[in-house]
Structure 1
Amino acid sequence: MSQSNTVTVHILDKEYCIACPADERSNLESAARYLDGKMREIRGSGKVVGADRIAVMAALNITHDLLHKQQRLDREASSTREQVRDLLDRVDHALATDQDGARG
């Protein structure tokens, strides 16, 4: 079991101390850098003012991206399942044809 440590991350010029298992530290730091970058992009656009609003917009943008990627993965998984079923049907047909030919 991983021991929890405190990790300090910087997001939009603020420091946050977050409890995190040692084996997740790298992922947390990457997530914080990613979020910081998204928030800086939004702040830099000048269209959104205030850290709370910037955080909400960043969360919405990241969630939007995540959901679209998940939908794409679901479509790809469905397509892959169909391809596997088609291949299995072809193999079954080939084996059945081969067995019929071996009997005749």
Structure 2
Amino acid sequence: MSQESTTVEVKILDKEYLVACPEEERDALTRAAKHLDKKMREIRASGKVFGTERIAVMAALNITHELLEQDSMSGATKSILESMDSKLDNALGKPSE
């Protein structure tokens, strides 16, 4: 896998940005830019936040919150599954590890 960079043009809130990234990450970068653009447009459309910089910060906070919630859910899900596994082992008479 090469790490040769390419320049990708992305458009966020009608402004174009040139971003260097490895060729194999081009699609991921494009998806990320589209997601950010969508979030920023939602915030701008709400009419509660003004200024591109403030909109960008609010979008970053919202996206970060979503990611942290997913991470927390993963941990909670793992804990629940481990507990269920232990209860099943006990019900089946298997010793706990």
- Normalization by structure 1: what TM-score? 0.79
Structure with greater helix share of residues: 1
Aligned-partner Cα distance in 1 for 2:94–2:45? 59
Q: Does residue 92 of the first structure (1) align with residue 94 of the second (2)? A: yes
Please list every run of 5 or more consecutive structure 2 residues that lacks an aligned counterpart in the other structure.
none
Match of 1:62 in 2: 63
Query: C-alpha displacement at 1:25, in angstroms?
Result: 0.9
Please list every run of 5 or more consecutive structure 1 residues that lacks an aligned counterpart in the other structure.
94-104
Please report the RMSD computed on the Cα atoms of aligned residues, expressed in angstroms. 1.6
| Secondary structure, aligned partner of 1:8 | strand
Q: Deviations over 1:35-75 (max 9, x none)?
A: 00000011111111110000001011111111111111110
Question: Based on CA coordinates, which of the two structures has the bigger radius of gyration?
Answer: 1
Match of 2:29 in 1: 28
Aligned-partner Cα distance in 1 for 2:47–2:10? 24
Query: What is the identity percentage for the equivalent residue pairs of Structure 1 and Structure 2?
Result: 53
- Normalization by structure 2: what TM-score? 0.84
Pairs aligned (count): 93
